[in-house]
Structure 1
Amino acid sequence: MKSIEAGGAKVVSREYVDDKTIDFSAVLTNIRSQNPDLIFFGGVDSQAAPLARRIKQLGIKAPLMGAGGFVSQTFLQLAQNEGEGVIALEPGLAVAQMPGGKAFEAAYKARFKTNIELHAPFAYDGVGVLVAAIEKADSVDPQKYLPVLRAISYPGVTGTLAFDAEGNLKKPSFTVYQVKANQWQPVSVAGGK
């Protein structure tokens, strides 16, 4: 919140729901009275979709935005037409922009007969980089493979994976998506340089 406010934004309301909430009417009634420019929801696709629908049904003009869990076929199916315009920030590049994204997507569809979900290439690379570190260390002992993992540079589907001293990705990228014509479309990319 501090960084958002430092950037010039004003938080007009903070509302809370639990992970079982499906009726957002009371929360949205209060939010509507604040006339926000944006509604940020820190939840997942299965809750974001009914929230998006209720926002449209109540005639709230502010766009809905989320991070780390919105971009999915589940959201699109549940939100239907009311998902139009929803914005999401997700880690990494869009699959089409990943160095190995198109080949990964084709192989995934051929094997599983379904579209990939956003996080599949990241999970694939997560396992790949761990296996590479274990093989290079020639050990499954964390005391031996963790130092290797910290120093590795792994060419994955999503890009080259390398870590800083704290174990965070070096040069991470983030993609902003928006629902257009009932499809998640990448709008812009930050970081990764």
Structure 2
Amino acid sequence: MRYVVLILMGIFGTILSGTAFSASFDLAGLGIQIDLVLLLVLALVLVEKNITPIIFAMATGLLMDMMFSTTLGMYALSYTVAAAVASIVAHRMEKFNSLHIFLIGAGGYIVKELVMALIVFAQGARQFDLGAIFLRDMLPSAAFAGALLLLVYLLVSLLYRNTWMRPRMSSHFMDEL
């Protein structure tokens, strides 16, 4: 049942991220974008301490690539790298407070955007100023993503209080290293 819920969350998040939340919201003149799939991935990384959120990020990113991208792997790679980095950081922490959750949300958004910029740069786009994009678009969106992750983490952790949503084994892929 847990995997059915994760698949439905991935499909629902993909549809909302690609349609309703794809346009930039103009909050006080800032082009802030909401990435619901990334928020779900990061919330799952914080709730589950295993490799499932990374696989969820890859699968949902591939679905985003098939539906909304011209380059296969753009979203999948960026979500997977962001989930892996967040998982390593979250594995090092014993307890979370709201500042940790905010920083993981903001950092995950920045990692995702930097990986996407690296992919675009590798494809031959040389006419963009990463510094200006970072200050004008990434930082406000990262702060908003960090704030929204607090809410999404609360909702996902409430969902995981049900016994049918908990993972059977509590192992992490970093435990073997």
- TM-score scaled by length of structure 2: 0.25
Higher helix share: 2
- TM-score scaled by length of structure 1: 0.24
Higher strand share: 1
